[in-house]
Amino acid sequence: MKLSVPVAFALVVSLSACGHAGSPHDRPGEAGCPELALLDLAGLDSGEQGAALPEELVSALSLDGETGTVVGAAAAVGGGAWLVVTTACAAPTPDDPPESCTGTLTLLGADGARRAQAELFEAPGHVLECEDLAVVLALDVLDLDGDDRDEAVIRWEETGEPQPAVGSQRTEHVAIVALPTLAWLWEEQVGAHGAGGQDSCEYTLVARPAGCTGRRELAFERDCMTAVCRPEDDEDDPDGDGIADAWCPEKEPPVVTRGVYRANPTTRRFEAR
């Protein structure tokens, strides 16, 4: 039996390394300034492409449906090796709500041997079922910074405990790890989706050409504000959701976070400029 799991791809927008937009088919790079693609990391595919993890590797993952250990995503990394994200729930008994949901990143060789392994996340448990606590949205393997070495980009979402009247807040996360070591290169909570007094955050995250260096840098921007409370809200309940807005920080402006990061050539970590 083969297990179908998602493989993601990056949405690619052509951009020259000197910052001139256009297609590589109609705009040559300037002298000494090679063309590089801008990679939209927020646009990684949600896994609709699909792929099958080789059957001989499935047994190496010790999957256990009763404890909620399942494959969340997988991607081939060359030479018959695969990078796999599994999620597992911890609970006192199968009938109890989960105490947590842990995501693990594993690099499997063609022979099924585990070449490297790292914990990706641990989402706190609550009343929701295990599969609702954390969901892997995308996994991609690519040369992100243009140094001729591949990295893995993983994007996932965690769901918080439901709150009265407003439900759960969901947070979106992105991690970048080195291959084949799975060493951490960059991680951030990039977005949030909430209601009532919960924060809601939109974001952009791209790997863009870094001048004429032939390399890419990360450019990140996150824009957060309270989901219901807006500067134009009145003191009572103008939006009719049953929540009094008087306590909301409606006079507070949106909180914007920006950062640009370049890979350290020695450690490969993305460091703030």
Low-confidence ranges of the chain (pLDDT < 50): 1-31, 47-50, 230-234, 247, 250-251
- The model carries a pTM of 0.75
Specify the pLDDT at position 29.
Answer: 37
**Each residue's pLDDT tens digit, 3-20:** 443 433 333 332 222 333
Predicted local distance difference test score (pLDDT) of residue 219: 94
Are 100 and 124 in contact by the 8 Å Cβ rule? The answer is yes
Where on the phi/psi map is residue 133: left (φ > 0), alpha (ψ -120 to 50), or beta? alpha
CA atoms within 13 Å, Cβ hemisphere of 119: 6
pLDDT in tens, 28-65: 334 456 667 788 888 776 544 345 677 778 777 766 55
Please work out, in degrees rounded to the nearest 5, the angle formed at the alpha carbon of residue 107 by the alpha carbons of 103 and 112: 115
Which pLDDT score, from 0 to 100, does residue 10 have? Answer: 37
| Cα–Cα distance, 192 to 265 (Å, whole number) | 32
Give the tokens for residue 230: 């807006």
pLDDT of residue 22: 32
CA pair distance 1, 261, nearest whole angstrom:
43
Number of H helices, E strands in the chain: 2, 16
Give pLDDT, residue 50.
40
Residue 204's contacts (CB-CB under 8 Å, 6 or more residues apart) are 42, 219, 220, 221
